[in-house]
Amino acid sequence: HWTAEEKSAITSTWSKVNQEQDGADALTRLFIVYPWTQRYFSSFGNLSSASAISSNANVRGHGKKVLGAVGNAVQNMDNVKGTLAKLSREHAVDLHVDPENFKQRLAQMLVIVLAAKLGGAFTPQVQAAWEKFNNVLVAALSHGYH
């Protein structure tokens, strides 16, 4: 269900992503804009300010893991659900993460980080492809909850 244009928009933006830095930036925004999401990460240490968050080694390591999983989904665009099935079960069963947090939150922060990074290259068409990709990503991550 992807057009050739959508696929190339997603894969070409993804090739510019720095998983550790952009992952840390997306998580930093998540923790600041939606502070209650910090409660899942009580083992991460000091998350008291933007600079504490973005320099926190646990945040950087986790950002890299999260974007690694997104990258996996990008490489497997035609089977995102299958690709993320195990991860979805893990969030539902082991981590008990409220799936609302996937929906308009982390995925949305990622779009903002990509837009800031790409500037003019993040055209409305590229943004539309990412909005669609995020819906697929969020649906796949939420699937293990039912």
User: Which residues bind to ligand ZNH, rule: CB under 6 A?
Assistant: 37, 40-41, 62, 65-66, 69-70, 87, 90-91, 95, 97, 101-102, 105-107, 137, 141
- Using the minimum distance from each CB to ligand ZNH, give the nearer residue, 6 or 101: 101
How far apart are the C-alpha atoms of 99 and 137, rounded to whole Å? 12
Nearby residues of 54 by Cβ (< 8 Å), 6 or more positions away? 24, 25, 28
How far apart are the C-alpha atoms of 39 and 34, rounded to whole Å? 10
- Using the minimum distance from each CB to ligand ZNH, give the nearer residue, 42 or 120: 42
Minimum distance of ligand ZNH from residue 1's CB (angstroms): 20
Minimum distance of ligand ZNH from residue 120's CB (angstroms): 25
How far apart are the C-alpha atoms of 75 and 141, rounded to whole Å? 16
Minimum distance of ligand ZNH from residue 88's CB (angstroms): 9
Minimum distance of ligand ZNH from residue 94's CB (angstroms): 8
- Using the minimum distance from each CB to ligand ZNH, give the nearer residue, 5 or 57: 57
